């Protein structure tokens, strides 16, 4: 079993997870124009980008994308995130049998993980899978999709051009792909907004040139997704952008968060 190590990041208990998501959705329902909501929440994404900080700061942004993504009917969800604690070269998948969340377990699609190992040289380094960038996505997945199979991929030093092959293969095999990333870290708000604009522009326009000026811990994942979306004819939509200052009020050292969907 792949244990949950960072439960405090998303409330710790099932009741708290549900309360967080109910709160996020209440904000959406009270502030999004009903006609716009009807249009946005009818989209059916093939992939999404979501942040991975504590839900207090980035949960609203992530939830917005997941709420739209629940329209999809994927066979599995493939979650791709950067390694923050263990430096390594390549990309790893876990071969545990299930993934723990506060509200229940998600089965791990070991057969599909084995396909990725065979076809794309994915490795199995279980030690890198104590990783918050992917873990904080799992309670959202359980909430919106129930006990759907998941595949967790953690990358270290890796080329976006190689990652895009995995993304395309996953989408072609009826997977919903989740790219996990935060944006700039610990700049003042004005600087953070300017830096993060490059990331938003890169995603919205599928522009790798703009991505070069983006600062993001999951930049490799964004790059792989941009290439895959371009080759597969997917259309990106920026769903939400904000910074930690929206919650903390501290504008001197902020972290940026974005969510996006690809249809």
For residue 35, name the pLDDT band (cuts at 50, 70, 90): confident
Residue whose token pair is 């990333």 = 181
In terms of Cα–Cα distance, which of 125, 139, 157 is closest to 6? 139
- Name 152's bridge partners: 79
Ordered domains of the chain (ranges, CATH)? 7-262 (3.40.830.10)
For residue 40, name the pLDDT band (cuts at 50, 70, 90): confident
Is 11 a residue whose pLDDT tops 80? yes
Whether the model clears a pTM of 0.85, i.e. scores above it, the answer is: yes
CA-to-CA dists, residue 238 to 184, 229, 242, angstroms: 17, 14, 12
Which of 36-45, 92-101, 179-188 has the least mean pLDDT? 36-45
pLDDT of residue 32: 86
pLDDT of residue 141: 98
In whole angstroms, give the CA distance from residue 92 to residue 159.
14
pLDDT of residue 39: 84
Is 55 a residue whose pLDDT tops 90? yes
pLDDT of residue 36: 76
Is 75 a residue whose pLDDT tops 80? yes
pLDDT of residue 37: 77
| Tokens at 15, concatenated | 């009741």
For residue 97, name the pLDDT band (cuts at 50, 70, 90): very high
pLDDT of residue 247: 93
In whole angstroms, give the CA distance from residue 35 to residue 42.
11
pLDDT of residue 199: 98
pLDDT of residue 15: 98
pLDDT of residue 128: 96
């Amino acid at each position: 079993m792949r244990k949950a190590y960072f439960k405090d990041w998303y409330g710790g208990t099932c009741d708290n997870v549900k309360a967080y998501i109910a709160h996020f959705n209440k904000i959406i329902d009270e502030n999004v124009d009903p006609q716009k909501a009807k249009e946005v929440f009818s989209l059916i994404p093939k992939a999404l980008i979501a942040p991975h900080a504590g839900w207090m700061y980035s949960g609203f942004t992530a939830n917005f994308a997941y709420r739209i993504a629940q329209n999809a009917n994927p066979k599995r969800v493939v979650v791709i995130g950067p390694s923050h604690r263990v430096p390594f070269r390549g990309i790893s998948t876990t071969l545990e049998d299930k993934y723990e969340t506060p509200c229940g377990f998600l089965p791990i699609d070991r057969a599909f993980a084995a396909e990725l190992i065979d076809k794309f040289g994915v490795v199995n380094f279980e030690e890198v899978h104590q990783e918050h960038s992917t873990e904080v996505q799992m309670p959202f997945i359980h909430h919106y999709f129930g006990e759907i199979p998941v595949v967790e991929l953690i990358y270290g030093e890796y080329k976006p051009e190689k990652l895009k092959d995995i993304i395309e293969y996953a989408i072609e095999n009826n997977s919903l792909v989740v790219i996990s990333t935060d944006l700039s870290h610990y700049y003042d708000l004005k600087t953070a907004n300017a830096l993060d604009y490059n990331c938003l522009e890169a995603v919205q326009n599928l522009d790798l040139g703009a991505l070069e000026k983006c600062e993001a811990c999951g930049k490799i994942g964004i790059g792989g997704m941009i290439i895959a979306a371009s080759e597969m004819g997917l259309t990106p939509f920026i769903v939400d952008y904000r910074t930690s200052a929206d919650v903390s009020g501290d504008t001197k050292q902020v972290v940026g968060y974005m969510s996006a969907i690809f249809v």
